[in-house]
Structure 1
């Protein structure tokens, strides 16, 4: 089990680096202190300092050059390949009506996979919401979302029947980056029950981890019946100039 003290020190290093970047004390492409320098400054192990730099690099706040060091990234490097869209807006664009059924909104012990994704400790309290999104009156998507309480302390006080978690999180902690995994799956019993589909119905599952400047905010499983949902997007490419 991780040491809570080292976790706090790790978070302190991240907060320090983010404060320097956001205040422009460390401008774009400036070199930041090394792992050894941070370890000495905060009286932690080199491994703890390395973890802070690694997570900030994964979030797009920093970039690393082998054998040289870590540098402040340009904001444009923090954009996601896949646009993060609000499901209520997607449904409205089709001229349909979005509604939501709040199945569960609670605090529970953080599972190991979620703890790793959110930089938390296993079994530490994590916020959890389970929501069914409807297109007109047809269940379209089951959203199972874990939220870091340290980042979003008022999450459990919201009424997600009238505002989606995406809308709320975007308002209180603007997203800077996201990671996506898209896969085809067969529905488990929970999805069968809430999406009202048979066990043989193929589903599209989007696993998403979102970040703000402060770190990882949420980790979500978004599962949709394959016959009712399509995932698309547009990629604009600027042609290269030729002589």
Structure 2
């Protein structure tokens, strides 16, 4: 019994990659070309390519095509630690820059008041920032900060310093809480991170304490095919 057509197309692409004919950085055949070659529907070809994108073997670039990518180059962050994303990117030999979308004061609604441990209606600080690695968006950071512990948060230039760096300098970290989810991102997240339809997304929900003070809570969105989280536990 032969494999489903999309599996056959997927294996064809993998064979081209494994043989070295389609090396890292190579633009593979278009969906139209594969449709003609295999005599199948565009949906079948799209399924094969989408699977390989989700596995981190291919990368779609808007208006340019689909390219073979190197899984070893997938960006990585430690799950059980907090590091400045700018330093992570620099340590990989790449360039970091950020785009500040919002940096404002808000009144805490019920959800944020509970999450941040403040009174309902208390003034808090909020920021939205896109972090880039070599001009590729790698993280969308939504952060709520207790204004009592970081009173100058709104005056900082977060294009030259990350919120993580500022908060670490002013509120030394004593504890963190992490949860990680694989999600289907909404249209806004897809647009900010330049993600394709059906591309996976990793959401890291993080809260940080300095001594016994809950300083900030953040939602960190990452394109799943460009990012991974890791941990190391010594036994």
Which TM bucket (shorter chain)?
A: 0.5 to 0.7
1:124 to 108, 122, 125: 122
Which residues of structure 1 form unaligned runs of 5+? Answer: 1-80, 238-243
1:183 to 176, 181, 188: 181
Cα distance in 2 between the residues matched to 1:190 and 1:149: 27
- Flag as ranges the 4+ runs of structure 1 deviating above 3 A: none
1:203 to 201, 204, 208: 201
- Aligned positions of 1:29-108 closer than 5 A: 82-108=80-106
The TM-score normalised by the length of structure 1 is 0.62
Q: Aligned-pair distance for 1:119?
A: 1.4
Q: Higher mean Cα deviation, 87-96 or 200-209?
A: 87-96
1:232 to 226, 230, 233: 230
Bigger relative contact order (CA 8 A; separation at least 6): 2
Cα distance in 2 between the residues matched to 1:106 and 1:139: 22
Structure ranking higher in strand proportion: 2
State the Cα RMSD in Å. Answer: 1.6
Which residues of structure 2 form unaligned runs of 5+? Answer: 1-78
Q: Tell whether 2:141 aligns with 1:143.
A: yes
Question: Helix, strand or coil: the match of 2:199?
Answer: coil
Question: Helix, strand or coil: the match of 1:168?
Answer: helix
The TM-score normalised by the length of structure 2 is 0.64
Cα distance in 2 between the residues matched to 1:180 and 1:129: 19
Which residue matches 1:4? none
Q: Aligned-pair distance for 1:214?
A: 4.7
Question: What do residues 123-172 of structure 1 show as CA deviations (whole Å, max 9, x unaligned)?
Answer: 32210000000010100000000000011111001000010100000001
Cα distance in 2 between the residues matched to 1:111 and 1:236: 41
Cα distance in 1 between the residues matched to 2:131 and 2:98: 5
